[in-house]
Chain A
């Protein structure tokens, strides 16, 4: 390679671009042309090429928010699979004579309206609630972002068609739709509920995904990739998706909580999960009538729900930030 001309030393200093100031990596002397080993920020001259995802992972492992939310979620998943690990009782083992009683030895959370142990029910309820919340969110996000993303990317007739379909789905009232659709299924498992949520939930994500794909698509770097001869799939996967994913993650993590409480509403109306299935939603809705006399019945399952939703929102925030190099 030819020798670098003298005045190219602009290259030796990296500086942020204005008062709004991003990360400052400016070296003290703009004219030092020497190729300093290692950046001024202390990162050594690693020979390994880094990518967005490896950098993001590198970042996440050091992020306390990610670690805390990850541990909470891990714990929730473990008790959802093996509730007996921390609860020895049977959630369906109830004694009406103890109905609404408060905390007592061996029953730290007290009893609910049917005289069942609140602690045991809260632990066992995790399974159905987390199943519904996580799977519905996953389904909605996948379906919504694929359909919306493609509509945004290709535009034209497919976009027009999909937008009208989205409008139609938006017009369906969720509770009414649930009453109609779920009352015809007799299957007593979480699957019909999840299926129903995905069916009615995807347009919300689809709309957001479409919008952010259209925004990302207009950037010059997508044009630059096209001018290089990049295929559509490369443009979508490498250039558009990483730049369009943030709003989808935010909405999806918030939606997770909504799905867990929607399950409760549906169960309360008798079309969601049915006993003997145990879920936070069922317990919250049945306890809400006794909130004045026995608030503990509501407090524990609602608290568990709140912690779960918070953990997922924190996780989503951490992942979103890790995927944005500007915030590093």
Chain B
């Protein structure tokens, strides 16, 4: 297994109390595999990724429990300088907002080349050539001419490609992409997602795709982890989950996508609001919004049940996953 996150807990100490952002997350990615982490704002999907990358703001954030095994080695036990060697070289991250992730006063060639100068000790000239090569690889037209240009001279889609090129520079084994296409238009989104999928295949990397878009997930993911209130509520191969969700939250999300036959009718809407992380409801965090909630859901926190009826491994954190699967 390339990456294994085990029982990860992250808290944030805020003025108003302790926000439990991540409450026991387990997931894993293999080389060449795409894991989609799906969730709304505040579900803990980005915080988990930041913890994996080691870029969590500490304080206010704090990893209180858990292991992050990267090729069998617990990253949380590494010293900061050892950790830094992993970051960038062996795992890399692509962010949502490419414009603010690039330094506006350095040319893209300098920023790409810097990776090689710092990690590989290359000369300026060699690193420049490498930068052009990378830009070619992410299919930026006229890379040779554009290598000296500044970030603002590129369009949003091209900037995201540069970010991807940067993440790829040292050929990492794992890429974490946090909402990489949310800020882009659909036609450009399609281009960027295709590029990511192709590079993953080509380089046999693991890819963790963090998103809230059910469409994007269906297009590229191999397996999905659905997060709610800092926990994984359902985990399954992508084909299974869309066919028959085993958690009412997943089911609600899928049903709230507008369908043709619903024209002129109300859309299905999950009632209520995502929970406040300072006061996560007791029992199942989803219970106040759940149409299937029973008394037990208000008192007992459901473990991640193995969905035994499935031929492939999948899991659901719902006491009534069976009813959900068939209902």
Contact = CB atoms under 8 A, between A and B. Distances in A.
B277 A31 contact: no
Interface in B261-284: 266, 269, 271-279, 281
Nearest to B277: A19
B156 interface: no
Given A24-B16, A26-B279, A28-B281, A18 B42 contact: yes
Contacts, number: 59
B16 A15 contact: no
Given A24-B279, A29-B288, A30-B288, A19 B19 contact: yes
Contact of A13 (B17, B21, B266, B272): B272
B41 interface: yes
Interface string A11-34: 001011111111110101111000
B278 A21 contact: yes
A16 B17 CA distance: 13
Interface string B43-75: 000010000000000000000000000000000
Given A19-B14, A19-B19, A31-B288, A26 B272 contact: no
A21 B17 contact: yes
Given A16-B278, A26-B279, A21 B16 contact: yes
Given A21-B278, A28-B281, A31-B288, A10 B272 contact: yes
B6 interface: no
B228 interface: no
A50 interface: no
A9 interface: yes
A18 B41 contact: yes
Nearest to B268: A7
Interface in B1-51: 12, 14-17, 19, 21, 41-42, 47
Contacts of B274: 15
B277 A7 contact: no
Nearest to B12: A19
Interface string A210-235: 00000000000000000000000000
A23 B16 contact: yes
Contacts of B12: 19
A112 to B, nearest CB: 48
B289 interface: yes
A209 B275 CA distance: 39
Contact of A7 (B17, B269, B273, B281): B269
A218 to B, nearest CB: 18
A151 to B, nearest CB: 28
Interface residues of B, number: 24
Nearest to A25: B276
A144 B203 CA distance: 61
Given A19-B12, A19-B21, A30-B289, A9 B277 contact: no
Contacts of B14: 19-21
A31 B278 contact: no
Contact of B278 (A10, A24, A29): A24
B271 A31 contact: yes
Nearest to A5: B266
Contact of A16 (B271, B272, B276): B276
A31 B19 CA distance: 22
Contacts of A24: 16-17, 276, 278-279
A26 B278 CA distance: 10
Contacts of A31: 271-272, 288-289
B244 to A, nearest CB: 24
A29 B281 CA distance: 8
B7 to A, nearest CB: 20
Given A7-B269, A10-B271, A30-B271, A21 B276 contact: yes
A26 B21 CA distance: 17
B279 to A, nearest CB: 6
Contacts of B275: 15, 26
A10 B273 contact: yes
Contacts of B269: 7
Contact of A30 (B16, B21, B273, B277): B273
Contacts of A29: 288
Contact of A9 (B16, B271, B276): B271
Contacts of B281: 28
A23 B16 CA distance: 7
A21 B277 contact: yes
B271 A19 contact: no
Nearest to A29: B288
B255 to A, nearest CB: 13
A6 B272 CA distance: 11
A22 B21 CA distance: 15
Nearest to B19: A19
Nearest to A18: B42
B195 to A, nearest CB: 31
A7 B271 CA distance: 6
A14 to B, nearest CB: 9
A184 to B, nearest CB: 49
A36 B278 CA distance: 22
Contacts of A18: 41-42, 277
A30 B278 CA distance: 15
Contacts of A7: 266, 269, 271
A294 to B, nearest CB: 47
Given A19-B21, A24-B16, A9 B272 contact: yes
A153 to B, nearest CB: 29
Instruction: List the 8 closest pairs (A to B, CB-CB), nearest first.
Output: A30-B272, A30-B288, A19-B19, A26-B276, A15-B276, A21-B16, A7-B271, A19-B277
Given A21-B276, A23-B16, 9 more contacts: A10-B271, A17-B42, A19-B12, A19-B14, A19-B19, A19-B42, A22-B16, A24-B279, A31-B272
13 contacts: A9-B272, A10-B272, A15-B274, A18-B41, A19-B42, A19-B277, A20-B14, A21-B16, A21-B277, A24-B16, A26-B275, A28-B281, A30-B271
